[in-house]
Structure 1
């Protein structure tokens, strides 16, 4: 089998990078007035490749189905990429490291399934990138974003719990999961106007290693493929979004963060890589103070 390189799932290799307009700059300046300087862990390198992941062949989400999902606009030098993220408390958003590394500030919008009609907006106060993350590497691709003002919860806005206990030690191989994002397909590489989700199956690490070059699928990575269709899953445009499982009480638990896809893009039957949150549960609690 041919071994495959991987690319982070951000944004500009397949789509035009959005330009931040003057009006947006003024609005963002208001949001950032009380913000503290961004705090990053020490990293190797400067800007990451502008590559982001989106859901491919997804189904349209219902209102309030995934109330933890946020859209992150990462801005530098009046250019930006979009990523996804997950609300894990009133103060913290969980996303991919490559969605925050090298950027000047982040704008977070949330509260609806409609891409252009997200009713709530805030800015980053600071963010913390795992100190093991390195540019153009797939390991430790995790970042915590502190928002400027606490998020107010409602029927439309809720946090998601992260894995706990024995689940922090499992890779969930063979189990069904859901990936979420404002997605595209391999044929339609444009934003979806509504939030999408796809059903995926988590595969074993050994099976995933058969697709990618040696060392790319580390201990902190889980991989998934479409459950009902090979073309279903993450695709370019929504890195940082959530990989979740439904519990017996029909609530959801966050098990992964969308990280990378193959060099051939989405919809090819090739697995997508996700950061395994269970290995970082202690780090997340230490950095955020979340019980």
Structure 2
């Protein structure tokens, strides 16, 4: 595999940075995850050259972002990885050409940015590779709740490129109204946002790849969709709100 050809597919927007200090410090911290401590985490390589994150939500299905897979004819899924650019004994790699983008995905409005990938067969269940439940349709807003975001994305503006190791960061969800102060009309009810500003340092939105999961209270709450263009300035990361799509997801995963 020629990893030099691989690129991310992150979406960035210009945000209202004048509102930034009103949120204040909301994150706990960012660091390298302990190896194989996030058993649902998936690396998703689309068409051999687009890298995104994803999550194993059943033994046969991976959840990711539609903007990652919208032009995809196949996806290579790496499970059980800490260093996905290397071969590790814990890894399982499968290839799927069964990609299902949400039918209402809108790349202009950045809405319904969610997709499913069906694996060719069930993967073995273990402590290293294990699905994460999705947030049910009747979930609340999660505003004020802390979630765990994981991914292999940029660790700063100064060091663009994939992180060699899985990164993690704790972030606090904010309300849709608060998110609209930054993202304006792009903050939809079917999205959920976190703050990534902590004093003079952002350790949030740069860590997560597009498609990566954010988890709270033992369920997946969001799928990374877009964030601030100026990563080092902090601000928000926006996710597809998983509970808004629970019925759509389960129409495939439970059929």
Match of residue 84 from structure 2:
115
Match of 1:86 among 41, 55, 64: 55
Q: Distance in 1 between matches of 2:151 and 2:168?
A: 6
Q: Do 2:53 and 2:211's aligned partners in 1 also have CA atoms closer than 8 Å? A: yes
Match of residue 239 from structure 1:
210
Other structure's SS at 1:84 match = strand
Match of residue 261 from structure 1:
227
* 1:51, distance to aligned residue in structure 2 (A): 3.1
Q: Distance in 1 between matches of 2:56 and 2:9?
A: 22
Change beyond 3 A, Cα 1:173–1:234 = same
Match of 1:181 among 130, 151, 166: 151
Q: Do 1:97 and 1:129's aligned partners in 2 also have CA atoms closer than 8 Å? A: yes
Change beyond 3 A, Cα 1:257–1:148 = same
- Map 1:1-291 to 2 at 5 A: 18-19=4-5, 51-52=9-10, 58-75=30-47, 80-117=49-86, 118=88, 119-164=91-136, 166-167=138-139, 170-184=140-154, 185-213=156-184, 215-226=185-196, 230-235=201-206, 238-245=209-216, 247=217, 252-262=218-228, 264-289=229-254
In structure 2, list runs of 5 or more residues that go unmatched: 13-28
* 1:177, distance to aligned residue in structure 2 (A): 0.9
Q: 1:95-149 CA distances to partner (integer Å, 9 max, x unpaired)?
A: 0011110122111112121132352110114011111102333110010100122
Q: Distance in 2 between matches of 1:100 and 1:181?
A: 17
Q: 1:139-172 CA distances to partner (integer Å, 9 max, x unpaired)?
A: 10010100122211222100001112642xx221
Q: Distance in 2 between matches of 1:114 and 1:142?
A: 25
* 1:280, distance to aligned residue in structure 2 (A): 0.8
In structure 1, list runs of 5 or more residues that go unmatched: 1-16, 21-49
TM-score by length of 2: 0.83
TM-score by length of 1: 0.73
Q: Distance in 1 between matches of 2:208 and 2:253?
A: 27
Change beyond 3 A, Cα 1:236–1:66 = closer
Q: Distance in 1 between matches of 2:121 and 2:136?
A: 27
Moved over 6 A (4+): none
The Cα RMSD (Å) is 2.4
Q: 1:199-237 CA distances to partner (integer Å, 9 max, x unpaired)?
A: 111111111111123x21111011101375650212287
Q: Do 1:97 and 1:141's aligned partners in 2 also have CA atoms closer than 8 Å? A: yes
Say how many residue pairs are matched. Answer: 232
Match of residue 42 from structure 1:
none
Change beyond 3 A, Cα 1:135–1:236 = farther
* 1:174, distance to aligned residue in structure 2 (A): 1.2
Other structure's SS at 1:207 match = helix
